[in-house]
Amino acid sequence: MVMNDTEKKQVAKLLTDAVDGKISEPDFWVEMERSFRTFDDPLVALAFEEAHHFWGNFHERNLFLIKTRPDPLQLSQGKETLRTLARAIQEGWSVEKTEEALRRI
C-alpha cells in the first residue's frame, strides 16, 4: 500500500517523537511495526532498520552485563539519522537522495 500525505506525516512525526523523547519505546514499536507492515515503502523499511540502531543505544551493556549510558556521539548520529528519514518520508525523497543524505551524517 502506498502512503498518502497524512500517513507520511504520521510516520515522520513518529520518528521525530522518538528523537525528542515524546514517545516511549514500546509505544514507538507498536506504531512503527504497523507502518512497516502496512506500507510498501523503502524509506519506511530503512527507518525501521535505523530505529533499531537508535533504540539499541539505550540497551547496551558492558562486559559485566551492567547497563551503560548511550555513547553521546552514536546517540547524536542516531537522532540526526531519524530526523533525516522523517524529512525524507514527509517530503517524498528518492531512496538515492535519502541514502546520500544519510552518508553525510
At residue 62 the predicted structure's pLDDT band, cuts being 50, 70 and 90, is: confident
CA distance 76 to 99: 18
Q: What is the mean pLDDT of residues 33-59?
A: 94
Interatomic CA distance for residues 36 and 44, integer angstroms:
6
d(CA 21, CA 33): 18
Q: Over the stretch 1-36, which tens digit does the pLDDT of each residue have?
A: 788 999 999 999 999 999 999 999 999 999 999 999
